[in-house]
Structure 1
Amino acid sequence: MQRIIFLTLGWLACPGARRAGHCIAILLPTTPFVLLAAWCFARSSPRFHHWLLWRSPFGRYLRHWQQHRAMPSGAKGRAILLILVTFSLSIWLVKILWLRLFLGVMLCLLLLMIWSIPVAAETPDDRAPPR
């Protein structure tokens, strides 16, 4: 029963696994859902866990995090740029002062968190599927 619960939760959390996931990924951050899917699949289905690591668009980043506990080079810069663009647009569109200040504080905290994550270069082993 526990396996079925983890398997179901993993598929519900995986944005690339269903068409509605693309809409959800636009409205909500994708990373927590991908991490939840990886966690659930690791506990319920080696087959789907392998799919997520080697066939999904998120696999490269998940494998790199599992092996190095770091972001791949280049990913940090893209993440920071995307965060700056989206938060700047949000701050510009919002007219309520306290909400603008809250978004500014959240932006600073998120940038500090991203900045603190180490970066590790990819190795050839990161790209080859396990045998």
Structure 2
Amino acid sequence: MASPSDDPPAPQMPKVLPRPLRWLLKIFAGMCLILGVVGVFVPGLPTTVFILMAAWAAARSSPALFRWLWHHRLFGPMLRNWANGGCVSRRSKWSATLMMALSSVILVFTDAPRWAVVLACICMACVLAWLWRRREPAR
């Protein structure tokens, strides 16, 4: 099993921002991290997007939070894959596909307006088409 010291080093941190902006970005990073964790358990709520946004905000406001995300056993690989050319693992692609399919089925059997169901399904299909065209990380 790889240790955190085996992980590649985190990218260079950007320049220091004014304190109020750093606090806003820290709050944004925290909210995105919470939504990303919730997305692990809730179908239809994306994990990867929120973790990427949390890492972006943390890189500009909290080096400690960014390092923690970068070396995290669940979130670190997706951040490192994305930093390495926007790669997405096959497992992540299949997970997203299954969760979006489940979300679509749930939507079909709700009382939501048909136009909203169709629009949501079209959006998910577009995201999946984009996602499956992303490179996969080298093994």
The structure in which a higher percent of residues are helix is: 1
Contact kept? 1:52, 1:59, Cα under 8 Å: yes
- Equivalenced residue count is 119
Q: CA deviation at 1:44?
A: 1.8
Match of 2:127 in 1: 110
Query: TM-score, normalised to structure 2's length?
Result: 0.67
Residue 90 of structure 2 aligns to which amino acid in structure 1?
S
CA 1:33–1:68 in structure 2 vs 1: closer, same or farther (change >3 Å)?
same
Q: Distance in 2 between the 1:96 and 1:9 partners?
A: 32
CA 1:121–1:82 in structure 2 vs 1: closer, same or farther (change >3 Å)?
farther
Contact kept? 2:48, 2:78, Cα under 8 Å: no
Q: CA deviation at 1:111?
A: 2.1
Query: TM-score, normalised to structure 1's length?
Result: 0.71
Residue 135 of structure 2 aligns to which amino acid in structure 1?
P
Which stretch has the larger CA shift, 66-75 or 99-108? 99-108
- Matching of residue 73 in structure 1 with residue 90 in structure 2: yes
Contact kept? 2:29, 2:58, Cα under 8 Å: yes
Contact kept? 2:35, 2:50, Cα under 8 Å: no
Q: Distance in 2 between the 1:6 and 1:95 partners?
A: 35
CA 1:101–1:51 in structure 2 vs 1: closer, same or farther (change >3 Å)?
same
Which stretch has the larger CA shift, 77-86 or 103-112? 103-112
Residue 96 of structure 1 aligns to which amino acid in structure 2?
P
CA 1:84–1:40 in structure 2 vs 1: closer, same or farther (change >3 Å)?
same
* Residues 18-74 of structure 1, C-alpha deviations (whole Å, 9 max, x = no match): xxx638x73743333222210111112222101011126322111111123211232
1:50 maps to which of 51, 67, 74: 67
CA 1:7–1:85 in structure 2 vs 1: closer, same or farther (change >3 Å)?
same
Match of 1:35 in 2: 52
Residue 59 of structure 1 aligns to which amino acid in structure 2?
G
Match of 2:116 in 1: 99
